[in-house]
Amino acid sequence: MAERSAPVGVMDSGVGGLSVLAEIQRLLPNESLLYVADSGHVPYGEKTPDYIRQRLRHIAGFFHQQGAKAMVLACNTATVAAVADLRERYPHWPLVGMEPAVKPAAAATRSGVVGVLATTGTLQSAKFAALLDRFASDVQVITQPCPGLVERIEAGDLASPMLRELLAGYLQPLLAAGCDTVILGCTHYPFLRPLLAGMVPAEVAIIDTGAAVARQLQRLLGARGLLAEGPARATRFWSSADPGNLENVLPLLWHTPDSVQRLPM
Ligand code: DGL
């Protein structure tokens, strides 16, 4: 039986999930958090679902060993590939996955055209197709895979001319089609909000699901009587690549410089 004071495990292929970790910490400041960046295997976006499932089994096993009371897949690509597999393996463990914000975007658009920026893996998945069928039958959805963006963000690049050019190419078809709502369907992309804001017309809304995931975690923990009463312990970080790489980028994307441990093989 898990305890209220047990930590919550949050993972991503790399640093993207920090955008979700920040929302969780804002909403649930009493929770102790563990963060795994699977940086030795990033990007997930171009990997096979089977490969990603194997990685997620390993990371879920690690969180289990650490005594985590819940796990958050702060990664859209990992969710489409692996959340069903993990739910089967751990039927009693609260697991929160994420999906692009198609439902709120379809409700909010006035032009009737919505754009989705995400990884190839997310956009090609059956789960994403089902999401469109369910919530977007009345709107036009323009999907845009964005290879290369994740690698730039992993390197701590949030504003270089090269990144701007890459992003401009990905935004162009969305804006040309008349999108007034752009969904950030990858947890790395919220770090590009400042750059994006200067690249789309002011009336274009940019949305992501980090805050919704934090609320879902709150609901799941609350329903099981597992919300922590605090105080939270310091967040702990692991990486499956050289911990020094993540330590270098953390101060840019996270509020405190933290030390990072190597994720056991
Ligand atoms: N941050 C991830 C997502 O939300 C995946 C990025 C990647 O590794 O390709 O999809």
Give the domain ranges of the chain: 8-98+211-262, 102-208
Identify which of 10, 21, 44 to mutate to test ligand 1's pocket (most ligand atoms within 8 A of the CB).
44
Ramachandran bin of 156, using left for φ above 0, alpha for ψ from -120 to 50, beta for the remaining angles: left
Q: What proportion of the chain, given as a percentage, has pLDDT over 90?
A: 96
225 known ligand binder: no
Which of 182, 125, 118 shows the shortest CA–CA distance to 149? 118
Residue 255 has pLDDT above 90, yes or no: no
The tokens describing 224, both together, are 């099981």
> Angle, nearest 10°, between helix axes 210-223 and 18-27?
50
Q: Of 8-12, 140-144, 244-248, which range is least confident?
A: 244-248
Q: Which of 75, 78, 98, 174 is catalytic?
A: 75
CA–centroid distance, residue 12 to ligand 1 (Å): 7
Asked if 186 is an active-site residue, the reply is yes
**Taking CA 228 as the corner, what is the angle to CA 225 and CA 234, rounded to the nearest 5 degrees?**
155
Asked if 146 is an active-site residue, the reply is no
In DSSP terms, 260 is beta-bridged to: 237
DSSP per-residue letters across 170-189: HHHHHHHTT-SEEEE-STTG
Q: How far apart are CA 150 and CA 13, in angstroms?
A: 10
Kindly provide the b/e burial profile for residues 113-133, where b requires at least 16 CB atoms within 10 angstroms of the residue's own CB.
bbbbbbbbbbbebeebeebbe
Q: How far apart are CA 235 and CA 50, in angstroms?
A: 30
Mean pLDDT of 84-100: 97
- Chain-wide mean pLDDT for the chain? 96
Mean pLDDT of 86-91: 97
Q: Confirm or reject: Cβ of 116 under 6 Å from ligand 1.
A: no
Same-fold call for 8-98+211-262 versus 102-208: yes
Q: How far apart are CA 2 and CA 169, in angstroms?
A: 47
Q: How far apart are CA 2 and CA 265, in angstroms?
A: 25
Question: What single-letter DSSP state applies at residue 236?
Answer: E
Which of 186, 233, 134 shows the shortest CA–CA distance to 16? 186
CA–centroid distance, residue 229 to ligand 1 (Å): 32
Q: Which of 60, 186, 253, 260 is catalytic?
A: 186
Confidence of residue 1 (pLDDT cuts 50, 70, 90): low
CATH for 102-208 is: 3.40.50.1860
pTM confidence score: 0.97
Query: 189, 15 in Cβ contact below 8 A?
Result: no
12 known ligand binder: yes
Q: How far apart are CA 14 and CA 28, in angstroms?
A: 22
pLDDT of residue 2: 74
Q: Which fold has domain 8-98+211-262?
A: Rossmann fold (3.40.50)
Query: Which residue in this structure is represented by tokens 């039958």?
Result: 137
Q: How far apart are CA 189 and CA 149, in angstroms?
A: 8
64 known ligand binder: no
Of the CA atoms within 13 Å of residue 233, those in its CB half-sphere come to 11
Mean pLDDT of 171-182: 98
Q: Confirm or reject: Cβ of 16 under 6 Å from ligand 1.
A: yes
What Rg value do the Cα atoms of the chain yield, rounded? 18
